[in-house]
């Protein structure tokens, strides 16, 4: 553990050396944190971003959201350093209890200092540690406000140790979006901090370790069963994407992988059983659902890129097995369109029924790259062509797609009445509400003309329909744009932010949608809306990428 002293400005270094608080070696080590990439668990307001704590300006500061514990700020030194000294200049909102930690990879952390008796001012700490990342982790506030630092200074020296890194750390934006794609107004650090904050609240509300056995799972209080494959798929994609911001990402992801392996489909064991009860046992036949399987496979590919496949689980091998199982059991070989799951087969009434929210073109691109199987190009084109056809024939003025499409083997059309879930199965309802996000995700990452065209049709309609006010987005529409129900839910308004990014003339509209998301608290009874909003926030801030 490190030593600590309270200091005035005058005679700082001499006083430290005389007291033995900072060794001559530590005093000689250079400042290595100035101007480095810095992220935080939250940001109180614009102008208080984490980068302000390492800008060398003692009149600017980082501040977290008020009234919450824990909160943290982390600086990336760029390479592994031997860290000898950390100097914290606290604003009035200081930490009563906090830890200073180092990490080689941004995932596993080692305490080099801790206290439960912080009293603000300047903490000049002699420490001994090694890492690429240094984090100040506050666990108890001293005031009713948040945590705030005028300056976070790290002193040390590079030690030449190779740095274990996350492949695509959250916030790195290594894969640029298509030209002209918008982002919400504001600095990238402010946008990223908003995503990290929402992610932490999402984890608290829905991520669990129930039933023991090393499992992690995402609970689904608003679904038919406590655990559904769709929720686990969302969790795997989200957690892998947040690696680099979440120090526990890999441990959580491996717990989700164990859940997937231990709950195989009763029909194709390389797929995930769709539903589990409160005892974590697969129920209702134990077969698979296509939407969950698509995200599970995609999440495994993200994990392989983030951490490699030489650890506890071979992510790449599991991903390819899952992808091949999707092709074998959840793609209709006569239409190249997705089925609802591995449980429907030739001759039953669901065999030529498909759900529009499953049509994830960016996933198909990733599957093609991972497997080298050109069939995924054919599958992607079949779905994109169907989107174009449905928009032209059934929603020329809105671009809206129905929840379910029937007769996919002959004349595809919106479902006629209830075919699986509700009388609105042929309308834009609780499944198709995800379509703008799914189409938009491919449009912004690939620049594909078909996806861009479909996305822009949706955006033009909804912006005009609502008068540019996201509060006017209702809970469902007929394909002609007639509203089905009033009220508001993130599952309906958030996805439109993704298609808004594809239109250069929609900055104000995008900002309105972004602000609507920021103003909407997480509803702990709806994993569906919260999980969709979180993934939309990741995408519109430029942090979605295709492995």
Q: Which residues pair with 512 in a beta bridge?
A: none
Phi-psi region of 169 (alpha: psi -120 to 50; beta: other; left: phi over 0): beta
3-class SS at 266? coil
Residue 158 is inside which H or E element, if any?
strand 148-158
Query: What tokens appear for 473 in the block?
Result: 């987005």
| Count of residues in the chain | 547
172-190 burial, b if ≥16 CB within 10 A, otherwise e?
bbeeebbeebbbbebeebb
291 catalytic, yes or no? yes
CB atoms within 10 A of CB 451: 26
Rounded to an integer, what distance in angstroms lies between the CA atom of residue 149 and that of residue 160? 30
Q: Using alpha carbons, select from 478, 467, 507, 512 the residue that is nearest to residue 494.
A: 512
Sorted by sequence, the CB contacts under 8 Å of residue 389 that are 6+ apart come out as 412
Is the bond into 415 cis (omega within 30 degrees of 0)? no
Distance between CA atoms of residues 400 and 186, nearest Å = 30
Catalytic residue check, 230: yes
What is the 3 state secondary structure string of 468-479?
A: CCHHHCCCCECC
Selected catalytic residue, list 230, 293, 330, 342: 230
* Local structure of 46: helix, strand or coil: coil
- Find the helix or strand (DSSP H, E) in which 82 lies: strand 71-90
Q: Give the closest residue to 182 by CA, choosing from 535, 501, 544, 541.
A: 501
Query: Cβ contacts of residue 392 below 8 Å, gap of 6+?
Result: none
Give the closest residue to 206 by CA, choosing from 525, 433, 489.
Answer: 525
Instruction: Give me 460's structure tokens.
Output: 């033009």
Backbone angles phi, psi at 74, to 5 degrees: -135, 135
Instruction: Give the Å distances, CA to CA, from 69 to 88, 141, 243, 377.
Output: 19, 7, 21, 47
Bridge-based pairing of strands 207-208 and 275-276 is: unpaired
Which of the residues 291, 403, 425, 442 is marked catalytic?
A: 291
Bridge partners, 282 (sequence order): 276
Q: How far apart are CA 299 and CA 301, in angstroms?
A: 5
Name beta bridge partners: 75.
Answer: 38, 134
Q: Supply the residues annotated as catalytic.
A: 230, 291
């Amino acid at each position: 553990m490190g030593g600590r002293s309270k200091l005035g400005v005058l005679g700082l270094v001499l006083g430290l050396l005389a007291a033995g608080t900072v060794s001559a070696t530590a005093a000689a080590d250079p400042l290595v944190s100035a101007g480095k990439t810095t992220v935080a668990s939250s940001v109180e307001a614009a102008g208080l971003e984490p980068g302000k704590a390492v800008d060398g300006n003692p009149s600017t500061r980082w501040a977290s959201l008020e009234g919450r514990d824990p909160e943290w700020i982390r600086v990336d030194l760029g390479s592994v350093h031997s860290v000898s000294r950390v100097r914290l200049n606290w604003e009035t909102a200081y930490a009563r209890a906090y830890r200073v930690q180092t990490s080689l990879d941004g995932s596993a952390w080692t305490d080099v200092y801790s206290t439960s008796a912080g009293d603000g001012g300047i903490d000049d700490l002699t420490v001994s540690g090694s890492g690429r990342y240094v984090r100040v982790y506050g666990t108890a506030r001293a005031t009713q406000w948040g945590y705030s630092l005028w300056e976070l200074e790290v002193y040390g020296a590079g030690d030449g140790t190779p740095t274990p890194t996350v492949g695509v750390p959250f916030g790195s934006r290594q894969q640029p979006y298509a030209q002209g794609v918008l982002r919400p107004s504001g600095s990238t650090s402010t946008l990223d901090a908003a995503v990290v904050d929402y992610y932490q609240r999402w984890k608290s509300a829905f991520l669990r370790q129930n039933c023991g056995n090393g499992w992690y799972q995402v609970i689904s209080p608003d679904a038919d069963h406590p655990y559904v494959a769709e929720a686990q798929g969302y969790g795997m994609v989200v957690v892998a994407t947040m690696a680099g911001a979440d120090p526990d990402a890999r441990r959580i992801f491996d717990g989700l992988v164990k859940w997937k392996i231990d709950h195989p489909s009763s029909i194709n064991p390389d797929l995930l059983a769709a539903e589990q009860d409160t005892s974590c046992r697969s129920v209702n036949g134990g077969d698979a659902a296509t939407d969950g399987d698509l995200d599970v496979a995609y999440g495994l590919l993200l994990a392989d890129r983030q951490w490699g496949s030489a650890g506890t689980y071979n992510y790449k091998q599991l991903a390819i097995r899952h992808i091949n199982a999707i092709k074998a059991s959840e793609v209709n070989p006569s239409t190249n369109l997705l089925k609802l799951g591995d449980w429907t087969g030739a001759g039953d009434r669901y065999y030529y029924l498909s759900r529009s929210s499953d049509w994830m073109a960016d996933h198909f691109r990733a599957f093609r790259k991972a497997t080298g199987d050109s069939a995924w190009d054919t599958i992607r084109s079949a779905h994109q062509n169907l989107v174009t056809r449905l928009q032209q024939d059934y929603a020329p003025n809105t671009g809206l797609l129905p929840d379910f499409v029937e007769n996919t083997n002959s004349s595809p059309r919106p479902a006629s009445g209830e075919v699986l879930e509700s009388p609105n199965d042929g309308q834009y309802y609780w499944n198709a509400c995800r379509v703008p996000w799914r189409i938009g995700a491919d449009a912004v990452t690939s620049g594909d003309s078909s996806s861009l065209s479909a996305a822009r049709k949706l955006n033009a309609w909804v912006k005009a329909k609502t008068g540019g006010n996201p509060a006017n987005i209702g809970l469902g529409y007929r394909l002609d744009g007639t509203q089905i129900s009033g009220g508001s839910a993130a599952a309906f308004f958030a996805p439109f932010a993704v298609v808004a990014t594809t239109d250069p003339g929609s900055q104000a509209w995008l900002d309105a949608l972004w602000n609507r998301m920021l103003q909407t608290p997480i509803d702990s009874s709806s994993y569906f809306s919260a999980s969709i909003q979180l993934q939309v926030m990741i995408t519109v801030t430029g942090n979605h990428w295709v492995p």
